[in-house]
Chains A and B, each alone.
Chain A
Amino acid sequence: MNALTKQHLIDPEVCIRCNTCEATCPVDAITHDDNNYVVDPGKCNFCMDCVAPCPTGSIDHWFHVPEPFPLAAQFSWMELPPKPAEPLASLMDNEAEALLEAAHTGAGGRVLAPPSAARPLVNIFNRTNPARATITGNFRVATGGSDTRHIILDFGSRNFPVLEGQSIGLVPPGFDAAGKPHTMRLYSVASPRDGERPNTNNLALTVKRVEGGVASNWLCNLKMGEMVEVIGPFGSTFLMPDAPDANILMICTGTGAAPFRGFTERRRRTAPLASGRLHLYFGARTPEELPYFGPLQKLPKTLLQQELVYSRLPDAPREYVQDRMRARAASLAALLRSETLHIYICGLKGLEDGVESALTDIAMDAGLNWPDIRETLRRSGRFHVETY
């Protein structure tokens, strides 16, 4: 494929030279002369920090070019050069697109990002030009049942910009039985955008070892210091709303909790006192098998309302996520009436039907119509499903 580079440019006709971008840029990639404000292609790491504060919209231009325009050329512009045609989707990454599309079918139609979500970047790194990350953590996050791990990938000095809810692509080394490279696997990012701790340049994944699974065994066996090649980021709809008044209902099983760990941590860091509430319905067989059971116990109720649901407790009837939802009908009905409700479902595909029927009944008992609500939510970027 043609090696196209993504380049960040500023429209000199619209820019008013207010200097906000230059003052905001954390890596000093933006500079100016008497004529123009410009972005150094060698420094810009696509962190997007400059985009929201720009009052004009002039900053929001992204070209795919064979060779980046050097600073000298940008300084001389009176207007942007013609925008080159967007590369075909097949050149970007149809492998990841196809995976995500399949995972999102449960939303029941075209999905949009939440209105207050930050703008995601996608397709920065591909198979021919992957980012390299070092494993800096790999430990179990569930004491019982199968081996579920929290794996930390550190990008060193390279920026790999992700938002909560986005995924990354990983390709196991080696070849499949037919002698072809392995297909790409997508993993949801389990950490917030600014890393495991604020301003660390890493991200975390939640990976469950599957018997005979090529990718999961490779990942779960990775040792500290080993390098992996990372593709992406991917996903431009299953994103966290930034609005502090957003009520977020998160429903998951197993490793489907990964994006919600990112959501919760983001809210904890930026707006722990927000008026919007986080609600988590999280199902597992037993507490021992529930990923992050320990850390979850430490989160205050004011940050996260937790409903941890177990289907294999000794001496207790089997309880599934949908059963607990029915038991919390009053609270959920109130949420369904909220103007700022966002719903996210993540985990195994089997989860969808149970949640759908529970919400249908809860709504009906409250004099509401779930399909209508779901449709309204979906059309406004507030209903998201990512299941496998």
Chain B
Amino acid sequence: MELQKFIENFAAQFDETDASEFAAGTEFKTLSEWTSLMALSVIAMVDDEYEVAVKGNDIKTATTIEDLFEIVKSRM
């Protein structure tokens, strides 16, 4: 799997945040559009696109988008 594509898939869940704000090092939980419902959308996106189950605790553990990418990658 590719980091850039993962970032695009991650960004696609958002409606208001500009695409340029998403990068490997983005601390996604600091984004103003981040909510607990957004966390559920990211979990569902990962299930859809990568057939990997991430849990609430994984979201909690990850700080950057790349952190989450690594978690998903390790389970593929």
A and B assemble together: no
Task: Spell out B's residues near A (CB within 8 Å).
Answer: none
Residues of A near any B CB (own CB < 8 A):
none
